[in-house]
Chain A
Amino acid sequence: MLSIEDLTVRLPHTARPAVDGLSLTVAENETVGLVGESGSGKSLTSRAVLGLLPPKAEATGKIMMDGADVLAMNRAELRQHRTRSVAMIYQDPRAAISPFRRVGDFLTETIAMDRAAAAGLLETVGLRESHLRNRPHELSGGMLQRVVIAAALAGRPRLLLADEPTTALDVTTQAEIIALLRRLRVPGMLFVTHDLELAATICDRVYVMYAGRVMETRPTGELFRDPRHPYTAGLLAATPRLDELGTLPPAIPGRPPDLLAHLPGCPFAPRCPHVLDSCTAGVPGLVGGVACLRAEELCDERP
C-alpha cells in the first residue's frame, strides 16, 4: 500500500539530510513501527508521507501510496490524498486543534458530513454526540486525542499515520488510546514512536531509525528476541523493565548527532561500543534487515 523508496529530505542550512536514503513499506493490513530517538527523522518521514514538508525542504526519492507518488502530486491531488487516503494523528492534540473552534467544526472541516455522521465518528472513538459543541479547552488531553482520531477516520483513510500519539498523555490514557488504535482496524498503520517497547505491543514489523537512516528492520518478535544492530540492542537495553524496577537501565552513551554534523560512514559509529575503523569508511547497506558491517560477527559472539 505504502512504499517509500530512497527518500532523502534536506532542510535548509543543514550539513546532512534529515532523512537519508530511507526505504520503507507498509503492506495491506499491516501495522508498521518507525522507532528512533528525537531528531532521527521519523516525524519528518511521516509528514513527508502526507506531502507536508517544511518550507524550503528538498525531498528526492519516491513516496508511492497505492501507486501514486506523493512528491509529484499537484495541489488538488494532494488534497484528495490527505483527505481520503492518508490521515495523521499527532503527538500533542491540544496543539493540533485550533482553540478557537468547536470540536464539531474540527471534525467536519475537511469533508462535508451531517451531524449524525459526525456523532457516529465520535461514538467510534468512545465520545458522545454532546461533545460536538465543546471547545477544545473544555476537554482532557485523552478526549482531545480521541477527537483527533475521529477526525482522522472521517475520510475513511487507507493508511493511518500515528506520530507519537500517546507521548503527551498520562499512562492510563496511553493504554486506552493504544487499545482504541488496535480496535480501529484501519487497513494500514505507520506507528511512529521513540518507545521500542510501545511499538512492540502494537506493530507487526519495526523500522529502527537513526540519524535519518534505517538501522534495522525486522518483524517485531524477532527484533526483540535477537536485535542485530548495536543501536537496537542499546535501545532495548535502555528500556526500563517491569521486573527490574529500581535499577536504572544503562543508557547509550553520547547524544544523537544534530543536523549540522557531517557523518561519514555509519552514523552510529561515534556512539557504538563495537566500532571499528572500517565503520566510518563507507555507509553500510541494509543486509538481511540490518545496516551494520559487523552484524554477523556480533551475532556469533553472543551466547
Chain B
Amino acid sequence: MRRVFWMALTLAVSSFLIFGALQLAPGDPASFLLSGRSATPEAIAAIRERYHLDEPFLAQYWHWLGGVLTGDFGRSVQFRSDVGGLIASRVPVTLTLIAMAFLLIMVAGPLLGLLSAARPGRVDRSILVAGSVAVATPSFVLGFVLIAIFSVNLGWFPSMGAGEGLADRLHHLTLPAIALALTFAGVLARVSRSAMIEQLGQEYVTVARGRGVPERTVLRRHVLRGAMTVIVTYGGLLVPGLLVSTVLVETTFGVNGLGQLLQYSVTVKDFPVVQALTLLTVALFVLANLVVDLLAPLADPRVRNR
C-alpha cells in the first residue's frame, strides 16, 4: 500500500513538473504552443481558451490533468490532430519492437550469463569483454552496421520502415529489435552471471551434483531457477529504458513509432506531444516498478505463501 502511495505521488509530482515546463519555456505559452509560428489572433485566442491560459497556473494544471486522466492530451499543432489519437496510432509498432527486443534480451542475457558462470576462464572472460563492448555500443551505431551488412550488402532485411501485416512487420523490425536489444542484453547478462555464480555456491547445487543429477539439469533446474527472481526483476526494470531507446533506434531505421514521433516533436517543438510522451514514459517507469515489486516475489515460494 505504502508503495502504491509513493508511486501515485511520483506520478502526480512528475505530471506537475512536465506541465510546469510549459511555463518555464521561453516566451508566451500561447505562442510557444504554436511553435513560434506567426499565428492569427484567432488561433492564439483558441489556444488560450483551450489551455485556460488566462486562469491561474494551478487551475491550468487542474484542467490539463483532468484531460490527461480522460485520455485527452491536447492537440498537436504540427499534425493538426489529437495527441491521444496520434500516440495511439503509433503504439502498436513500438510495442511490437519493444516486445521483440525484450524477448531477445530475456533469452540472450540469462543464457550468456549462465554460460559465463558455468565456464569460468576463457569463455567467461570473452563474454565479459563482449558484454562491456555491447554496453558501450550506441544502438544507432549498431543499427547502421546492421543496415550496411544485412540490408545494403546482403539484402536480407529492409533498412527502412515498419512494414504492413504481421510477417512483414516482424521482418522489418528484426534488425531494429537486435539494435535495441544489444546494450540491454549485455547488462542483463552481467546481472544474470553474478546471480548464477551466487547460485553455484549454494549447497543445494553441490548436493544435486553429488546425487548424480546431470550437469545440464543442475544448471537448468537449480541454477537458472534459483537466479530467476533476480533476472525477472532486473528484466522488468529494463522496459522503460527500452521505450526511451526506441527514440534512437526508430530514428535510425525510419520506423514510425512513438520514438520517432518524440524525436520529430522535439525537433519541431510540438510541445503537447512531447509532454504526453514524457508523461507516458514516466508512467511506464512507475508501472514497471510496481509490477516487478508485485511479481518478483511470486517466483519465490517462500514469500508467496506468506
| A binding-site residues for B, Cβ under 8 Å | 47, 50, 52, 78-83, 87-88, 90, 92, 95-101, 105, 109-110, 135, 137-138, 151-152, 155
B26 in the interface (beta carbon within 8 A): no
Q: Which residues of B contact A88 (CB under 8 A)?
A: 207, 210-211
- Cβ-defined contact, A52 with B301, below 8 A: no
Q: Which residues of B contact A87 (CB under 8 A)?
A: 211
Q: Which residues of A contact B228 (CB under 8 A)?
A: 100
- Cβ-defined contact, A92 with B300, below 8 A: no
Q: What is the interface of chain B mostly: helix, strand, loop, or mixed? A: helix
Instruction: Please measure, in the bound complex, the distance between the C-alpha atom of A112 and the C-alpha atom of B203, giving whole angstroms.
Output: 23
- Cβ-defined contact, B302 with A99, below 8 A: yes
Give residues 83-141 of B contacting A (CB, 8 Å).
none
B 291-306 binary contact with A (CB < 8 Å = 1; else 0): 0000000001110010
B 2-13 binary contact with A (CB < 8 Å = 1; else 0): 000000000000
Closest to A111 in B: B212
B153 to chain A, nearest CB (A): 44
Contacts A81-B212, A83-B212, A95-B202: A100 and B301 contacting too (C-beta < 8 A)? yes
Q: Which residues of A contact B212 (CB under 8 A)?
A: 78-83, 110, 155
Contacts A99-B302, A138-B305: A90 and B213 contacting too (C-beta < 8 A)? no
Q: List 24 A-B contacts (CB under 8 A).
A: A52-B206, A52-B209, A79-B212, A82-B210, A82-B211, A83-B211, A90-B207, A92-B203, A95-B203, A96-B207, A98-B202, A98-B204, A98-B222, A99-B301, A99-B302, A100-B225, A100-B228, A100-B300, A100-B301, A109-B208, A109-B221, A110-B213, A137-B301, A152-B211
Q: Which residues of B contact A138 (CB under 8 A)?
A: 305
Q: Which of A80, A98, A99, A138 has the most CB of B within 10 A?
A: A98
A70 to chain B, nearest CB (A): 12
Q: Which residues of A contact B226 (CB under 8 A)?
A: 98, 100
Closest to A84 in B: B212
Closest to A152 in B: B211
Q: Which residues of B contact A80 (CB under 8 A)?
A: 212
Instruction: Please measure, in the bound complex, the distance between the C-alpha atom of A152 and the C-alpha atom of B228, giving whole angstroms.
Output: 27
Contacts A83-B212, A110-B211, A137-B301: A96 and B204 contacting too (C-beta < 8 A)? yes
Instruction: Please measure, in the bound complex, the distance between the C-alpha atom of A279 and the C-alpha atom of B92, giving whole angstroms.
Output: 83
- Cβ-defined contact, A135 with B301, below 8 A: yes
Instruction: Please measure, in the bound complex, the distance between the C-alpha atom of A82 and the C-alpha atom of B207, giving whole angstroms.
Output: 11
Give residues 221-255 of B contacting A (CB, 8 Å).
221-222, 225-226, 228
- Cβ-defined contact, A90 with B221, below 8 A: no
Closest to A55 in B: B120
Instruction: Please measure, in the bound complex, the distance between the C-alpha atom of A137 and the C-alpha atom of B204, giving whole angstroms.
Output: 14
B214 in the interface (beta carbon within 8 A): yes
B147 to chain A, nearest CB (A): 43
B217 in the interface (beta carbon within 8 A): yes
Q: Which of B206, B209, B211, B217 has the most CB of A within 10 A?
A: B211
Instruction: Please measure, in the bound complex, the distance between the C-alpha atom of A79 and the C-alpha atom of B204, giving whole angstroms.
Output: 17
| B binding-site residues for A, Cβ under 8 Å | 202-204, 206-214, 217, 221-222, 225-226, 228, 300-302, 305
- Cβ-defined contact, B217 with A50, below 8 A: no
Instruction: Please measure, in the bound complex, the distance between the C-alpha atom of A47 and the C-alpha atom of B211, giving whole angstroms.
Output: 11
Closest to B217 in A: A109
Instruction: Please measure, in the bound complex, the distance between the C-alpha atom of A80 and the C-alpha atom of B211, giving whole angstroms.
Output: 10
Q: Which of B204, B212, B213, B305 has the most CB of A within 10 A?
A: B212
- Cβ-defined contact, A95 with B210, below 8 A: no
Instruction: Please measure, in the bound complex, the distance between the C-alpha atom of A105 and the C-alpha atom of B204, giving whole angstroms.
Output: 13
Closest to B203 in A: A95
- Cβ-defined contact, A50 with B210, below 8 A: yes
Q: Which residues of B contact A95 (CB under 8 A)?
A: 202-204
Instruction: Please measure, in the bound complex, the distance between the C-alpha atom of A98 and the C-alpha atom of B305, giving whole angstroms.
Output: 16
Closest to A82 in B: B212
Closest to B200 in A: A55
Closest to A135 in B: B301
Closest to B303 in A: A137
Partner of B225, one of A52, A83, A97, A101: A101
A150 to chain B, nearest CB (A): 12
- Cβ-defined contact, B210 with A97, below 8 A: no
B295 to chain A, nearest CB (A): 15
B51 to chain A, nearest CB (A): 54
Instruction: Please measure, in the bound complex, the distance between the C-alpha atom of A163 and the C-alpha atom of B209, giving whole angstroms.
Output: 16
A175 to chain B, nearest CB (A): 24
Instruction: Please measure, in the bound complex, the distance between the C-alpha atom of A92 and the C-alpha atom of B203, giving whole angstroms.
Output: 9
Instruction: Please measure, in the bound complex, the distance between the C-alpha atom of A60 and the C-alpha atom of B74, giving whole angstroms.
Output: 79
Q: Which residues of A contact B300 (CB under 8 A)?
A: 99-100
Instruction: Please measure, in the bound complex, the distance between the C-alpha atom of A99 and the C-alpha atom of B204, giving whole angstroms.
Output: 9
Closest to B202 in A: A95
Closest to B207 in A: A96
Closest to A47 in B: B210
Closest to A137 in B: B302
Instruction: Please measure, in the bound complex, the distance between the C-alpha atom of A248 and the C-alpha atom of B300, giving whole angstroms.
Output: 45
Instruction: Please measure, in the bound complex, the distance between the C-alpha atom of A82 and the C-alpha atom of B301, giving whole angstroms.
Output: 29
Closest to B120 in A: A55
Instruction: Please measure, in the bound complex, the distance between the C-alpha atom of A144 and the C-alpha atom of B228, giving whole angstroms.
Output: 24
A40 to chain B, nearest CB (A): 20
A50-B210, A52-B209, A52-B210 known; 18 other A-B pairs, CB under 8 Å?
Answer: A47-B210, A82-B211, A82-B212, A83-B211, A90-B203, A95-B203, A97-B204, A98-B202, A99-B204, A100-B228, A100-B300, A105-B221, A110-B212, A110-B213, A137-B301, A137-B305, A152-B211, A155-B212
Instruction: Please measure, in the bound complex, the distance between the C-alpha atom of A155 and the C-alpha atom of B213, giving whole angstroms.
Output: 12
Q: Which 3 A-B pairs have the closest CB atoms?
A: A82-B212, A83-B212, A95-B203
